[in-house]
Amino acid sequence: MKILVVDDDPISRNIVREFLGSRGFEVDAAENAQTAVDRIRHNRYELLILDIFLPHRDGRSLHLSVTSMDPELARKTIFISHWEPAGAIADYVGENGLFLKKPFSADDLLRGIQLATGVSAEPLVG
């Protein structure tokens, strides 16, 4: 399974990328919305892990773009954040994906992947 992780926090982004890579997933990462859009235009992903609060363009705005670029990917999104979403953002997240509050456990991430994709989150390596 090919996954795109979009998070402006390099520590969080690298932890998720390295953990999922160690589990046999193919993982690309982007530090901002523009890099994410470029990656989505040139690659096919099966899951999007998206920080809600990004600089210059928030995760909701990026997700709206993904919906028009790759509707299937948009339906398989896990939103992440250090803060609980509220108001319109909470409504959007609830209607368009799953939410994990940082810091989340490895088990929570694997469960989220399974819920978002319907695929076992423990792929065989090799």
Q: What is the Cβ-side half-sphere exposure of residue 99, based on CA atoms within 13 angstroms?
A: 19
Residues 6 or more apart whose CB falls under 8 angstroms from that of 73 comprise 40, 45, 46, 47, 48, 66
Strands 77-81 and 2-6, how do they pair? unpaired
2 beta partners:
26
Q: State pLDDT tens for residues 20-78.
A: 999 999 999 999 999 999 999 999 999 999 999 888 888 889 999 999 999 999 999 99
Domains of the chain in sequence order: 2-117 (3.40.50.2300)
With 50 as the cut, is the pLDDT of residue 14 above it? yes
The two tokens of residue 95 are 């209607």
Q: State pLDDT tens for residues 72-118.
A: 999 999 999 988 777 778 888 888 889 999 999 999 999 999 999 99
Q: What is the pLDDT of residue 10?
A: 96
Contact between residue 79 and residue 97 where contact means Cβ atoms under 8 Å apart: yes
